[in-house]
Chains A and B, each alone.
Chain A
Amino acid sequence: MLSDLKSIAVRATPIALDIYDKTDPTTLLPFVAVVVSDPSLAEEVNLEWAAVFPELRKWIGDRVAQQGFAGKLKIRPELYEVTLDFDSIDIERGTALIQATEKATRIGRAFAVGKVLLAYRVLRENQLTYDGQDFFDNAHQHPDGTLASNLVNVVRADPAAPDVIEVRDELSAAVDRLMANSILRDELVRSDEVRKGLVVFVRSQKVWSAYEKLRTEKSFGADPNLWQNAFELVRDFRPKVGTENTVDVVLATPNGPRPAIFVVSREPQGLKFDQSKEFASRYIPFGMDAMYGVTPAFWQTAVRVLPT
């Protein structure tokens, strides 16, 4: 029994890790979060903005360690796990390996997808960010003290069912606001990069339909559609109550800031099997665990469209 289980573990573990490794880079995580590795397993990770985005400066006199303009960000990484099980009788039947392999695939994928949802919660739940404001708020403040908002109020004939012209206008307004708010770093941003890095999150079928039309139609009458393939469209199927008609637009320029910071303290190491329950329940749980921390970060990189 034990040797059978070991043999299953030896074969299923690389599958879970392989699926995870293949899926992880293809998810939306890089659009939503700056991923930082901190293998110290510290209970609390303190990040300086400057450590995330250092800038080149002229060396005059002594070197100056770059300090974050907003103080330190505290992130508390937590353990996450995915556990499934299989029937120990399947070992005798000879079908356990197939089951474990198939489930290992799902565990690997669940980790990759789950990381995106952890980061996306910053937007979905409108979490508190470093300046003490809700992530989407009308009273943010730039480093120079000026107030800024990443809420864009728009008018739709029917707030729940916009037409393609309305969403075209609101997407333009959202990008305008993103560019106005993005004075975070001393950098030049190409308009092409803006278009490459736009991700639009919608939360209802009717809003999706209008945005999908905007993303795919070649033209509207005689006018060419300048938004064709100009953004990624993502549907959130479990929005927070009251946000169903809203749209979040994220500007993810290459290597730039993101709405969240995602700290990887420990990636999944492989499948672990628990035989202690087998005597009582026949089932053998197995799964993977990892340690991640997420914090809301750069409100400048996203806007929420609020229709009325």
Chain B
Amino acid sequence: MKEPKIYKIRVTGEVLETPNATRRVDVDGQVVTFGREPVYVRAAELPPQLADDPYLRIEMVDSAPPDVEVIEFLKPERVQDPAPTAAAPATRKRS
């Protein structure tokens, strides 16, 4: 499993110019609101909903400031499915 990293995320200037000045992103049912103040996210790999969003400014940081909530996007470690066993060669019953 990859080592989790901490990301500092804010919205871009385009979003700040809108009346709301915030942007919500739905990450697999969890809606996170970003704005002028940075939001800290811990993830082994940033979800594509965040990573590919052109209206978010994302930086990787060593740690979040103390007393700041860090949102976790850590997927449970995936258990490797057992490899399908090779099918035994069909044998023909002798009649």
Contacts and interface: CB of A to CB of B under 8 A. Distances in A.
Q: Do A and B bind each other?
A: yes
Contact of A74 (B11, B17, B20): B17
A70 interface: yes
B50 to A, nearest CB: 12
Interface string B16-31: 0111111111100001
Interface in A35-88: 68, 70-74
Interface string A113-139: 000000000000000111111000011
Contacts of B15: 128, 132
A189 interface: no
Interface string B41-85: 000000000000001000000000000000000000000000000
Contacts of B19: 68, 70-73, 130-131
B18 A131 contact: yes
A176 to B, nearest CB: 20
A130 B31 CA distance: 18
B3 interface: no
A141 interface: yes
Contacts of A72: 19
A295 B26 CA distance: 24
A155 interface: no
A187 to B, nearest CB: 22
A132 B20 contact: yes
A128 B55 contact: yes
Nearest to A131: B20
B20 A138 contact: no
B1 to A, nearest CB: 29
Q: Chain B interface: which size bin?
A: 10 to 19
A279 B39 CA distance: 62
A132 B21 contact: yes
A147 interface: yes
A68 B23 CA distance: 19
Nearest to B53: A134
A133 B24 contact: yes
Contacts, number: 39
A133 B15 CA distance: 8
Given A128-B15, A147-B31, A139 B26 contact: yes
B18 A141 contact: no
A130 B16 CA distance: 10
Nearest to A138: B26
Contacts of B22: 131-132
A68 B25 CA distance: 24
Interface in A204-254: none
Contact of A139 (B17, B18, B24): B24
A188 B21 CA distance: 31
B14 interface: yes
A202 to B, nearest CB: 26
Contact of B24 (A73, A74, A130, A141): A141
The 4 closest A-B pairs by CB, nearest first: A71-B19, A139-B24, A132-B23, A132-B15
29 contacts: A68-B19, A70-B19, A70-B20, A71-B19, A71-B20, A72-B19, A73-B19, A128-B14, A128-B15, A128-B55, A129-B18, A130-B18, A130-B19, A130-B20, A131-B18, A131-B19, A131-B22, A132-B11, A132-B15, A132-B18, A132-B20, A132-B22, A132-B23, A132-B55, A138-B26, A139-B24, A139-B31, A141-B24, A147-B24
Given A71-B20, A128-B55, 18 more contacts: A68-B19, A74-B17, A128-B15, A128-B18, A129-B18, A130-B18, A130-B19, A130-B20, A131-B20, A131-B22, A132-B18, A132-B20, A132-B21, A132-B23, A132-B24, A133-B23, A139-B26, A141-B24
Interface of B: 11, 14-15, 17-26, 31, 55
